[in-house]
Structure 1
Amino acid sequence: MAEKRKGDKAGPRARQVAALPWRREADGSIVVLLITSRTNSKWMLPKGWVIPGKSDAESARIEAEEEAGVTGTAAPVPIGSYFYVRQEDDGTTRPSQAVVYSLQVAKELASWDEKKQRKRQWFTPTDAAQAVYERDLARFLANVAAGRIHLAVA
C-alpha cells in the first residue's frame, strides 16, 4: 500500500472515466491518441468525472471531444482501468482510478474546447506505453500493444 504523504487526501479512491481514442491505419495497424495534461504537459488519455445524467461511456466520449478534439462512438463496456495519483486543485493528491472506454474515432476536429491548452498526437500502442508518465497507464497500453486488451468496436 502506498505511503500517505503530507497533503494527501484521505478517503475513498476517486473514480473517473477515460477514453482510449483509436483508429485503424491503411495498413491495418492500430494507433491510439494521447493528449498532454494541462498542468505538466505529460502524455495521458482524455479523462474526467462522470457527467450527471450521462452513462460512463458517454461521459468518456464527451471528455475525448472536449480534451482531444475527436468524435466517435464509445463502446458501452469498459476495456479496463488503471490507477494513478490525482493532483487536486489545492495541491493535495488523491489515489484514483480511471475506467477506460474504447472510442473508435470517426472524425478529428479542427477546433475544440481545450485546443489551446493541450497537444494531441497519434502513437502506436507500444510507443504510447513508452510515452505516458503514469506507470499503470503504461502497463495498460502495453497490454493493448500485446493484444491482451482488445479495442472494442461500438
Structure 2
Amino acid sequence: MAKSASEIDGSSSEQVASLPWRIDADGKLRILLVTSRTNAKWMLPKGWPISGNSAGRTAGIEAKEEAGVEGVASETAIGSYRFIKLFDDGTSTPAQALVFPLRVTCELSKWDEKGQRKRRWFRPKKAADAVFEPDLRRFLLDLREDALVLFSP
C-alpha cells in the first residue's frame, strides 16, 4: 500500500471502490458508506488493486476489510469518480476509483478496520449529501437502482 504520493506513478492512481447495497424490508434501496481513516469523511470502501485478484474480487475484499460486509460483487464497474487521495505522510494526488456494486448478504459484527471507521446505511440521496468528494456526490445522485440489480450477480 502506498504511504506517499511519491510511491505511485500516474498509471497507478486508479483505485477500486465497492458500492455495498441492499433492499430493505420496506423495498427501499440503501447504500453503505464508511468513514475514512484520515479525516472521518463518508466515502465508499476502496483501495488499490490487489495483484492476482480481479477488480470485482478486490472490491469485495475492501468492503469486508473497511465496512465489515460480505456479499456478491460484480465484475463489471458501473462507473467511476475522481477524488484527491490523501496519504499518511500528508501528501496527496489526483486519483480515480472504478465502482463495483456489491449486493450485501452478511453484516459482520467484527472486521479488520472496525476500530478505525464507522459504517452507516443511507438512502442514495442522503448518501450523496453525506459524502465529501463532489464527483462521488454526483455519481450517487445519478445512481439508478435498476443498474445495481442489472450489474450485480
TM-score by length of 2: 0.90
Alignment of 1:30-109 (within 5 A): 30-109=29-108
Shift of the 58–83 alpha-carbon distance from structure 1 to 2, 3 Å rule, reads: same
Question: Aligned residue for 1:150?
Answer: 147
Contact 1:23–1:31 (Cα < 8 Å) also in 2? yes
Instruction: Give the aligned CA root-mean-square deviation in angstroms.
Output: 1.9
Task: Return structure 1 stretches of 4+ with deviation > 4 angstroms.
Answer: 8-11
Percent of matched pairs sharing the same residue: 53
CA distance in 2, matches of 1:90, 1:40: 13
CA distance in 2, matches of 1:17, 1:140: 15
Q: In the TM superposition, what is the alpha-carbon distance from 1:27 to its structure 2 partner?
A: 2.1
Where structure 1 has 5 or more consecutive residues not aligned to the other structure, the ranges are: 1-7
Return the structure number with greater helix share.
Answer: 2
CA distance in 1, matches of 2:62, 2:128: 21
Q: In the TM superposition, what is the alpha-carbon distance from 1:11 to its structure 2 partner?
A: 5.0
2:85 alignment partner, SS class: strand
Where structure 2 has 5 or more consecutive residues not aligned to the other structure, the ranges are: none
TM-score by length of 1: 0.89
CA distance in 2, matches of 1:94, 1:59: 21
Contact 2:70–2:106 (Cα < 8 Å) also in 1? yes
